[in-house]
Structure 1
Amino acid sequence: MIQKIEIHNFRCFEETKISGFKRVNLIGGKNNSGKTALLEALYLNNSQTPLNVIELRRIRGERLAFLKAFPEKAWNSLFFNQDKDKSIKFISDGDVTEFKMNSDIPGGNRRIIEKLEDENKFESLESDYKQSRLKAEWIFNANVWDTCFIASSNGIELNDSMTPKISRKVHFIPASYRLFNTDLASEFDQADFNGNSEKVLNFIKLIDKTIVQVKAFNLGEHTFYLKREEGGFLPISLFGEAIIKITDIVLKIINYKSSILLIDEIENGIHHTNQFEFWKMLFKLAKEFDIQIFATTHSGEMIRAFANAGLEESEQGNDDTAAYIELARNPRKDRIVGIVRDVEQLDYAITHEKGVRGD
């Protein structure tokens, strides 16, 4: 499991070190304190696959149209204060990931990983020369890999000459997104094949107790269906984004043993009356499938439920289950710091109103 991370020159982090992570980690703090950016840092450092850099662009809603107009600014948002003279660096338990702007065009094979197409619009010759190059380097188990992203008005190309041969399984579930039903159906097939369909159903029932059956059918299109106590099967898309997100969470846990799961705004769609049982089941599944979870929240109620469920785990002798990380800005250094509390410290802070914040 990840125990600590150092973040340098990334997003809102100038220089931040956080240690004391456990199996299930909840991240809180005021708005714009860096909660999502911390998940992104964990994602880039631990996934060690270049395509996740592009995935973050999509999650953040960075449109290809902007890249087309300003390819030289394609990577600016990754750097603290857009300072591209300094490299981005993540250090976690000995593994190092570094991103830096690079003026050299590397050799080796290239492949287009994001393409812009507009056949009806004439592009000036000047736009062909507007480029920005982001070099990525990974150091993992004393092995070094590197690659280079080249952004131009035609899209993003990836130099494939040296990319990691080993990639950890890391999944990122954004705050708001729409997963394709066919993807959920395929994930459920895998869980069902391994005898875990009942676990999927029980997790979904935390949100809607009237659901009694879950199935995937291929009726023209591979689709994931839910069935209530009265009525027939209906596509999961008709049950709302909360159910879809919860289903995605449980399938990512069950199907990808010994992986890392990152969840932004985990409270979305979970009623406060269900949050305690939600955390209890999440703790249980994370331990059973050897998953390390990092989740952000804006909700004080979600933090309270997390503390209560974590205390129950601690009383059963599971002291390595849960940690709460609050992000705040150090007024003296004007840098973001991570204050790590175990569940006993979190419970004391909540009870005595010591400034635990989820918003």
Structure 2
Amino acid sequence: MKFKKLSINNFRGVKKLEIDGLKNVNIILGKNNSSKTSILEAIFLLVGSLNPEILLRINQFRKLSFNEQDDFRLVFNNLKFDENIIIEGNQDADTHKILEIRPTSQNKNFTQNKKTINAEDLKELDFDSHPDDLSINQLTFLSKYKEKHSKEKTVESKLLFRNGQFNSEIGNIRTALSERAVFLTQSLDMSVNLEKELEDLIVSKQIDLVIEALNIVDENIKDITFGRNRLIYIDVGMTRMIPINLMGDGVRRMLVVILSIYNAKGGIVVIDEIENGIYFSTLNKLWRSILVTANKCNTQVFITTHNYETIKSLKECLSNLDSSFDDTNLFKENIKVFTIRKLNDGNHKSYPFNYSELENAINEDLELR
């Protein structure tokens, strides 16, 4: 499923946000603390809504950890359980996917609300009508999906904290709409198993597709394989192959991006702060690789950045597409930039820019973030 519209409510720092007119490659632009990463997390949760353990994973991406049940608040807007989290993605009017996360209380004996009140408890007056203990130790995930010419279906899953540990209960996924999403964090440390992804392509004899994409970055790359101790080696035309670790973090990051897009064919890849670890002079080539690979693999990509130079490099990449591309207009039509801003009422708003609008804004030196 490729999303054309996204709606996020009550998740992390996002009280309410709608993004309409999504394309194949979408760039989420905004200043620091504009909830760009939260948008990527919401997309990741929505695509993987049948697996409640993803909630633990996105906290791990931020180097956070759930140590007690009250940590469930970390994913709710303003750290409050007042409203459910609702994330919706629409492909069209008749095809959509919705994730609703409800905070609930649950224990083994279903006696949590029973309470014995002694006279001693009444000595201290309390003028608050709210119960003293609203112990939220379970999140219920309702994954709702509807395809054209079919009824809406709902799969219920649960994430429960009890006795110091988490337990998940995954609903019936046999009849569910399931896609694949890959989350690439700023550091990539926990995002993807590079060796496993590369091995799958080598075994399936599809590594040439990756080399073709990497040639946009470095035309000297001839081959990629494994050496001693499972170290990745790259052939750049010298007498010996070079370990990827000697080629710099930029090459490794670009390889991870390209591999992820290939391995998520028909699914979604989200990339946080794409410019991290990439030299500005290489960004133009990286954009080309992403555009070509995403189009070839039918993968929808969401990318965040707060760097104006990164957006300028995108504009330059699109402006300078040469005759080696079959249809330059196709790439320009399949990309969209969205500036995210927080309003005074606490809601967020997206401001879309197609290629022509992006080009004009940069030429006029307008502030896009």
The TM-score range, normalised by the shorter chain, is 0.7 to 0.9
Is residue 19 from structure 1 mapped to residue 24 from structure 2 by the alignment? no
Closer, same or farther in 2 for the Cα pair 1:317/1:24, shift >3 Å? closer
What's the RMSD between the two structures over aligned residues?
Answer: 2.7
- Show CA shifts across 1:39-66 (max 9, x none): 01111112223232221121111135xx
Assess, with a 3 A threshold, how the Cα gap between structure 1 residues 161 and 44 changes in structure 2: closer, same or farther: closer
Ranges in structure 2 where 5+ consecutive residues have no aligned partner: 91-95, 110-134, 147-151, 322-326
**CA offset digits 1:242-289 (Å, max 9, x no partner):** 332211111112233111010001112222222222212211111111
2:360 alignment partner AA: Y
Structure number with bigger Rg: 2
Which one of the candidate residues 261, 266, 271 is aligned to 1:253?
A: 261
Displacement after TM superposition at 1:228 (Å):
4.5
Query: Are 2:15 and 2:346, in contact at CA under 8 Å, matched by a contact in 1?
Result: no
Q: Which residue of 2 aligns with 1:168?
A: 179
Equivalent pairs: percent with the same residue? 21
Cα pair 2:182 2:191 within 8 Å, conserved: no
- State the partner residue of 1:49: 50
- SS at 2:187's partner residue? coil
- C-alpha spacing 1:235/1:80, structure 2 compared with 1 (3 Å): same
Question: Quick check: 271-280 or 306-315, which moved more?
Answer: 306-315
Q: Do the aligned residues in 1 keep the contact of 2:50 with 2:157 (CA within 8 Å)?
A: no
Partner AA of 2:103 in structure 1 = M
- Which range moves more in the overlay, 240-249 or 26-35? 240-249
In the alignment, the residues of structure 2 paired with residue 224 and residue 101 of structure 1 have an alpha-carbon distance, to the nearest angstrom, of 45
C-alpha separation in 2, matches of 1:310 and 1:228: 27
| Corresponding residue for residue 149 of structure 2 | none
> Larger % of strand: which?
1
Distance 1:215 1:327, change over 3 A: same
- Asked if the contact 2:61–2:190 (Cα under 8 Å) also holds between the matched residues in 1, the reply is no
Contact 1:179 1:244 (C-alpha < 8 Å) held by counterparts = no
**How far is the alpha carbon of 1:212 from its aligned partner?**
4.4
2:146 is the alignment partner of 1:135? no
Give the conservation status (yes or no) of the 8 Å contact 1:203–1:250: yes
Going from structure 1 to structure 2, the CA distance change for 1:267 and 1:300 (only over 3 Å counts) comes to: same
Letter in 2 for 1:80: N
Write the letter of the residue equivalent to 2:304.
T
In the alignment, what sits opposite 1:196? 206
**Which runs of no fewer than 5 residues in structure 1 stay unpaired?**
108-129
Note the C-alpha offset of 1:203. Answer: 4.0
Distance 1:2 1:311 in 2: 26
The residue aligned with 2:122 is none
- Given that residues 311 and 343 in structure 1 are in contact (C-alpha distance below 8 angstroms), is that contact kept between their aligned partners in structure 2? no
What TM-score comes out, normalization by structure 2 length?
Answer: 0.80
Q: How far apart, CA to CA, are the structure 2 residues paired with 1:201 and 1:319?
A: 24
Q: 2:156 aligns with which of 146, 153, 158?
A: 146
Aligned length: 326
